[in-house]
Amino acid sequence: MRMSRYLIPTLKEDPADAVITSHKLMIRAGLIRKESAGMYIYLPLGLRVLQKIITIIREEMNKSCALEFLMPELTNADLWKESGRWHTMGPEMIRIKDRNGLEYALAPTHE
């Protein structure tokens, strides 16, 4: 990858709204950009770094014969209701209904 061919928005000064050192450094280096509170956009260089980290983790997992799996972002409400946490999670848990009236939640955990 030839760096001179890409627009990498670097900063000389610390961003005013960044408090944590790692956030300041990643924003200054052009890896991420803050979208809103707690939400960041991975810029091209930051995404490349993330993909390399994922590759390293996969290689190490393969060496130890570990298996990778992917869990759904949306989970059925039945499990949450059965555990009693459907109502106790409060408004922070994002809930949706599909066109058939089935309820789902954006999975805050995978237990």
Q: What is the distance between the alpha carbons of residues 75 and 13, in angstroms, rounded to a whole number?
A: 42
Q: Which two tokens stand for residue 16?
A: 């005013």
Q: Which two tokens stand for residue 5?
A: 């061919």
Q: In the chain, where are the structural domains located?
A: 3-63, 74-106
What's this model's pTM, rounded to 2 decimal places? Answer: 0.71
Whether 100 has a pLDDT exceeding 90, the answer reads yes
- The phi, psi pair for 50, rounded to 5°, reads -60, -45
In this structure, of 20-24, 86-90, 93-97, 106-110, the range with the lowest mean pLDDT score is 106-110
Q: What is the pLDDT of residue 92?
A: 87
Whether 43 has a pLDDT exceeding 70, the answer reads yes
Instruction: Give the number of residues written for the chain.
Output: 111
Residues 34-60: what's their mean pLDDT? 93
Q: How confident is the model at residue 98 (pLDDT cuts 50, 70, 90)?
A: very high
Q: What is the pLDDT of residue 90?
A: 85
Q: What is the pLDDT of residue 20?
A: 85
CB 63 within 8 A of CB 95: no
Q: What is the distance between the alpha carbons of residues 40 and 30, in angstroms, rounded to a whole number?
A: 12
